[in-house]
Chains A and B, each alone.
Chain A
Amino acid sequence: MPSPPKPSQTSPSLPVVEAVELTKIYHRGREEVRALNAATFRIERGEFVAVVGPSGAGKSTLLNLLGCMDAPTSGTLRITGQEVQGLSDQQRTRLRREQIGFVFQHFGLMPTLTVAENIALPTLFARRRLAQRVDELLEQVALSHRRNHRPHELSGGEMQRVAIARALVNNPQMLLADEPTGNLDTATGDTIISLFQQLHQAGLTVVVVTHNTPLASATQRQLTLRDGRVD
């Protein structure tokens, strides 16, 4: 089982995510698209939350904001106690690098890198050398025997396990997963759900955006988005 993240530099009592009247507006030509409309919610430390909702409800926008990939148009968003809306791109990058781990539907592994190098990639961006951590994670996701393999030599489940290990390598406070079982068969998807549950039990905050009912049911709580609002 992957090891839990180290304690946050912020107070443990603070929520990992606190959003107040969070709004994101895009402009498509003259049209104004309100992708997220005054969403207010909290995600506590160690929670396992599913973000669900129909297509176009604003799930991806919310994921981008929670992952500090984008800045909100208005409202307040605090990630591990730090307000995001006033941060520069550089500061958001640092926050993302240090506090957030990403898992993608299509795995997002670099095809020219080996499994071990893919896992180690975020440590390069963080200017850390964590060879031992890579070995630990490889063992924890049961892929030590695949460390020198390229992604195209792996199955879908193995690729997603590599992606999860990569997301954990910098000891993030929160794991964000975008449809993590969307490209997997049911059995493999169950393995990944089980892995997320283990991470949650180990104390990690896990937020998954999903249409997958078994995955959503496996979480503690569901945030339902509809027309950019949280129900």
Chain B
Amino acid sequence: MNWISLSLKDWQRRPLRTGITLTGVAIAIAALWSLLSFQRGYQDGMQSELDRLGAHILVVPKGCPYDAASIALHGATWPCYLKQSYLKQVATTQGVATAAPAFMTAFYDATGAQNVYVGVDKSILALKRGWHIQGRFPQGRDELLVGSAVAERMKWHLGQQVNLPNVPGQGGQVSGILAPTQGADDSFIYMGLNDAQHLFKHPNELTHILVRLKDPDDLENTVAQLHGCSAGLEMNVVPLAHLFRTIQSLVNSTRLLLGCIALIALLVAGAGVSNAILMTVVERTREIGIMRALGASHSDIFRIFWLQTLQVCLVGGGIGVVVAFAASRTLEAWLRGRLPFAPTDTLIHWEWWIADVCLACSIILGSAAGLLPAWRAARLSPCEAMRASRGQM
């Protein structure tokens, strides 16, 4: 028998109370784990998504730039369009390395699956440096480059003549299949820009222009020049770094609120643990007296009750981490359905350091919550404790 097992054995005394106390700690730690994992996942997901886009600036039609950015990143039908003539002005602006035009539209089929068509030219390859194409980029009319998820879902293979989903009477040949990117590109169907404009009856119009800079540090200067060009009044220039910062700050505001809730949950759990152990001290007053009579010092009694609190918090924290991990997919699905702008990557992205932080919080919580009951137990005089009847202090 040692100090730890002595404290652990007391759990058996009130299993229901122990269970409720553990549950309180587990909920608080699960909330903390989910919050930290969400923060990590959302930040990483946003960054990866922007990196995959390969652009520093997005030029979109007038309107809400964040909606436009969301459509460009995830794919949808655009409500308005840019004149293709703007492309030349954007491309010739000082500091612009590549301006890749795009025409995007999307349809939903009967199963609810979305089919996104994107018309691009070869300049997109300067941005999408992470693309690995099996086959080749569309060169002739009606050639298609399809994302890996589309190829898998539609069971398309290289060189196959296919009918375009949701575009009756139109077909094309799969000239290339993209290796998985883990992003939205996996579910896009790329085709030549002219083909897309013609097919969807928007000749000489674009939905957006992806701009890559020669020097990313020269972003502010280039944005100012784009605003100042003759097409500047007819289009929105969205620096993606700004977009990232804005979205991140919106998420941070929410996170602060959620952080406060997690903190309150931790404090309530700590108070619950403290109260439960205080009740144990009251119930065990006579036993404390007996232990003092058997030679236990003040510090021995303190140690027994403090260790017990620590054990409850540590085990509760461990359960919280495991439960939060097990429930992370459900939570992610729930969040994804409610967040206005969610990256394609995993939203709940856990790492070992998050589990470490949660367990450290459990230890701190247990250490703090155990101080009062342990101190009250330790300061009991042996005579008073021996005299105490069960349930009195």
> Which residues on A are within 8 Å of B, measured CB to CB?
64, 67, 69-70, 89-90, 93-94, 96-98, 102, 104, 108, 110-113, 117, 120-122, 124-126, 166, 170
Q: In the docked arrangement, what's the CA distance between A96 and B300, Å? A: 14
Q: In the complex, A104 Cα to B385 Cα: how many Å? A: 14
Interface centre among A104, A124, A166 (most CB of B within 10 A): A124
What are the 8 closest A-B residue pairs judged by CB atoms, nearest first?
A: A97-B295, A108-B290, A125-B295, A112-B9, A69-B382, A122-B294, A102-B293, A125-B296
| Cα A121 to Cα B328 with chains together (Å) | 44
**Are B1 and A90 in contact (CB-based, < 8 A)?**
no
Taking a contact as CB atoms under 8 Å apart, the answer to whether A124 and B2 are in contact is: yes
Interface centre among A70, A121, A170 (most CB of B within 10 A): A121
User: Beyond A112-B9, A112-B12, A124-B2, is A166–B298 a contact (Cβ under 8 Å)?
Assistant: no
A102 cross-chain contacts in B, Cβ below 8 A: 290, 293-294
B interface secondary structure, majority: helix
Query: Is B201's CB within 8 Å of the partner chain A?
Result: no
Residues of the A chain whose Cβ atoms lie less than 8 Å from the Cβ of B218: none
Chain A residues within 8 Å of B287, by CB: 108, 110
Give the most central of B1, B6, B10: most A CB within 10 Å.
B1
Extra contacts, 6 of them, besides A93-B298, A96-B295, A108-B287 (Cβ < 8 A), are A102-B294, A108-B286, A113-B6, A125-B295, A125-B297, A166-B294
Instruction: Specify the chain A residue showing the minimal Cβ separation from B10.
Output: A112
Known: A69-B292, A111-B13, A112-B13. A124 touches B297 (CB 8 A): no
Interface string of B278-319 (1 = CB under 8 A from A): 000000001100111111111010000000000000000000
Number of interchain pairs (Cβ within 8 Å): 66
Flag whether B3 is at the interface (Cβ < 8 A).
Answer: yes
Complex Cα distance, B382 from A142, in Å, reads 31
Is B383 close to A, CB under 8 A?
A: yes
Closest to A122 in B: B294
Bound CA span A122–B290, Å: 10
Report the nearest B residue to A169, measured CB to CB: B294
Cβ of B290 and Cβ of A113 under 8 Å apart?
Answer: no
A93 touches B13 (CB 8 A): no
Count of interface residues, chain B, beta-carbon cutoff 8 Å? 24
Establish whether residues A93 and B383, one from each chain, have CB atoms under 8 Å apart when the complex forms: no
Q: How far in angstroms is the closest Cβ of chain A from B27?
A: 27
Q: How far is the CA of A110 from the CA of B13 in the complex (A)?
A: 11
The answer to whether residues A122 and B292 also contact, given A113-B9, A117-B1 and a CB cut-off of 8 A, is no
A55 to chain B, nearest CB (A): 15
B386 CB within 8 Å of chain A:
yes
Q: Which of B3, B13, B381, B386 has the most CB of A within 10 A?
A: B386
B9, B286, B295: the one contacting A93 at CB < 8 Å is B295
On chain A, the residues within 8 Å of B10 by CB distance are 112
Q: How far is the CB of B104 from chain A (nearest CB, A)?
A: 68
Chain B positions within 8 Å of A93 at CB level: 292, 295-298
Are the C-beta atoms of A122 and B297 separated by less than 8 Å? no
Cross-chain contact B383 with A70 (CB below 8 angstroms): yes
Chain B residues with Cβ below 8 Å from A166 are 294
In the assembled complex, how far is the CB of residue A66 from the closest CB belonging to chain B, in whole angstroms? 12
- In B1-33, the 8 Å CB interface with A consists of 1-3, 6, 9-10, 12-13
Encoded as 1 (CB less than 8 Å from any A CB) or 0, chain B from 247 to 289 comes to 0000000000000000000000000000000000000001100
User: Are the C-beta atoms of B3 and A124 separated by less than 8 Å?
Assistant: yes
State in angstroms the CA–CA spacing of A64 and B293 once bound together. Answer: 9
Do B386 and A69 have beta carbons less than 8 Å apart?
yes
Closest CB in chain B relative to A77 CB, distance in Å: 15
Inter-chain CA distance A170–B9, complex, in Å, is 23
A122 to B295, CA, bound (A): 6
How many Å lie between the Cα of A104 and that of B6 in the bound state? 21
Which of B1, B290, B292 contacts A120 (CB under 8 A)? B1
B293-A113 in contact (CB<8A): no
A10 to B94, CA, bound (A): 98
Which residues of chain A are within 8 angstroms of B291 by Cβ–Cβ distance? 121, 125
